Amino acid sequence: MLYNTNIDMQNNIKEKIIKKILNLPSFRENLQKSFENMNSTGVLPEFIVDTLDVDILDADMFEIGTLTDNFLQIADIFPTPIMINIKSVIHNALNNNRPDIIKMLADKVTLSNYVSSIMMLCAKMKMFELLAYLIDKQVMIDTNNYECIYYLAHVGQLDLLKLILQKYKFPNIFEVASKISIQAIMNNHLDILKFFCPASGFESAPDQMFVFFINSIRFGGHLDIVKYFVDGGISIKQQNYQAVGMAKKCERCEIIQYFVQLDHEILTLLSVDDKIRFGLQEEVKHRFIGNAICGIMQEPINEGDKYVLCEKVLHSYGYETWSEWIRKGAKWVCPLCFSKVNYMIYTNLKPM
């Protein structure tokens, strides 16, 4: 009785496969060509299914098919063997947002044997629910030096990163965690940074935390990222004010201003040029120039506006416009007459 049941099940599967294959537009044409080739060679070639229709493949086919290289081979149904390209099905399922097909395949084959970058592709396509399923299945994730993990840190997927730590073991976990932290710093994911660089690290690994602190300035970390390290106990005075030097080098205006709020001694480390560049120069005097025009943007300098002035007193520039000009790398030289521009901020008001 059990034998008959198995026979009936296989016959039902074969019947379903026959219907699917016959519905392929290319099958009859290829079958005719196969018979023509058989007449000339004596051998009937296989029919390779390489179609955009991902529904051609289902779980039942694995019950009667045989896996060979990149293909699932189904014989003894048609005169010619049917070869379904597994790699092609995977790519088409991803491109057509069919996670159900990928999940079915994950139960039948080792996905990474067919598409080694399957995890990275899921991440880049933002198929995060599918990715969580594959992580739970422990599909290979160390392809290309863990690029998928670092990409998830890049896009802020903390929950998936936590799941990865639960499901996989890493021989070099410290290196992986460090690179994740750098991605969190560069892309302003404070929640990921706090998870991989917890507050306990300020006591257990102070040198490493200081390195991350400097990197948060170097790699464009948001001010909140920088504040996390300072609030954790790192001093901006460490290594002879190295953090201040890095902030100057990287033109991190908001960080310099924050550091000055913490320690006014930093002002002694800044030149007049630095102070003006970073918005720390005090207004020195009133100087009325009437309704002037900024020499860079040709916008008006109205009464009460701040401005800078060249030494020849020929050209004036709105302070905000000039500050942006300097931040882009310009020198304190008048672009119109090439005289020096005074390290002075004026207000367009009559002297009191």
Domains of the chain and CATH, by start: 1-115 (no CATH), 126-196 (no CATH), 204-270 (no CATH), 285-347 (3.30.40.10)
Nearest to 100 by CA among 136, 139, 130: 130
Kindly tell me if the per-residue pLDDT of 3 is higher than 50. Answer: no
- Structure tokens, 129: 């629910």
The Cα–Cα gap between 226 and 187 comes to: 13
Cβ(111)–Cβ(148) under 8 Å? no
Neighbour tally for 311: CB within 10 Å: 12
The average confidence (pLDDT) of the chain is 85
Cβ(267)–Cβ(275) under 8 Å? yes
pLDDT at residue 331, rounded to an integer: 78
pLDDT at residue 283, rounded to an integer: 59
Confidence of residue 64 (pLDDT cuts 50, 70, 90): confident
Phi first, then psi, for residue 327 (nearest 5°) are -60, -25
Evaluate if pTM is beyond 0.85.
Answer: no
pLDDT digits (tens, 9 = 90+) for 123-181: 999 999 999 999 999 999 887 789 999 999 999 999 999 999 999 998 889 999 999 99
Kindly tell me if the per-residue pLDDT of 45 is higher than 60. Answer: no
Task: Output the CA angle 276-279-282, nearest 5 degrees.
Answer: 70
Nearest to 47 by CA among 72, 13, 69: 72
Lowest mean per-residue pLDDT among 34-48, 61-75, 93-107, 320-334? 34-48
Taking the CA atoms of residue 99, residue 105, residue 107 and residue 110 in that order, the dihedral angle to the nearest 10 degrees is -120
Cβ(54)–Cβ(101) under 8 Å? yes
Nearest to 134 by CA among 106, 159, 100: 106
**Helices 238-249, 253-262: inter-axial angle, 10-degree rounding:** 150
Confidence of residue 287 (pLDDT cuts 50, 70, 90): confident
Question: What are the DSSP E strand ranges found in the chain?
Answer: 47-49, 66-68, 71-74, 82-85, 285-286, 292-293, 300-301, 306-309, 316-318, 346-347
Cβ(107)–Cβ(101) under 8 Å? no
Using CA atoms, how far residue 265 sits from 74, 236, 243, in Å, is: 78, 11, 14
Kindly tell me if the per-residue pLDDT of 1 is higher than 50. Answer: no
- Structure tokens, 213: 């602190």
**SS3 label, residue 49:** strand
The Cα–Cα gap between 129 and 132 comes to: 5
The Cα–Cα gap between 197 and 206 comes to: 11
